[in-house]
Amino acid sequence: MIGRLNHVAIAVSDLKAGVAVYGGALGAKVSEPQDEPDHGVRVVFVELPNSKVELLEPLGENSPIAKFLEKNPMGGIHHVCYEVEDLLAARDKLKAAGLRVLGDGEPRIGAHGKPVLFLHPKDFCGTLTELEQI
C-alpha cells in the first residue's frame, strides 16, 4: 500500500537556525519558507537525492508544533510521510483494520499541494505518520 518515503519532518523552534544547519553546514538545497496556516506551521523542504527533510516551525501558539516543542524543547522528529497511490483506499483499508486516522478522517491539502492524512502514533510504533496522495 505505501510507496516511497516522501519526507521526514523535524520540528524546530527556529526555522532560520535549521536552514543554517541543513543549507549551510550540510550544503543541502533548501526551499523558501512557506506558511501553511491550515496546519499551523511554517515549513521548508531540504532536498535530498532520494527524499526530503521537512523543517517545521510553529505558526502561532495554537500550532501542534508549538505543543510538540513544549514537550521537546530541542525539537526533533515529528512525523514521517509516505506516498500512496490512492489515499481514500488506504484510509478505508486502515480504518477497516481498526487503525485510527486523525481529525475527521477527510484528507486536507498538505504543503506539497496534495491531499494528506495523519495516522495515530499509537497505532504506528509510536510515530505520527502522514500519508500523501501521489
8 Å CB contact between 79 and 9: yes
Catalytic residue among 54, 57, 130, 132: 130
Q: Which residues pair with 79 in a beta bridge?
A: 9, 128
Instruction: Give the CA angle between residues 44, 120, 10 to the nearest 5°.
Output: 25
- pLDDT score at 30: 98
Domain 2-133 has CATH 3.10.180.10: yes
pLDDT tens across the length of the chain (134 residues): 999 999 999 999 999 999 999 999 999 999 999 999 999 999 999 999 999 999 999 999 999 999 999 999 999 999 999 999 999 999 999 999 999 999 999 999 999 999 999 999 999 999 999 999 99
DSSP 8-state code for residue 59: S
**132 assigned to active site:** no
Domain boundaries, the chain: 2-133
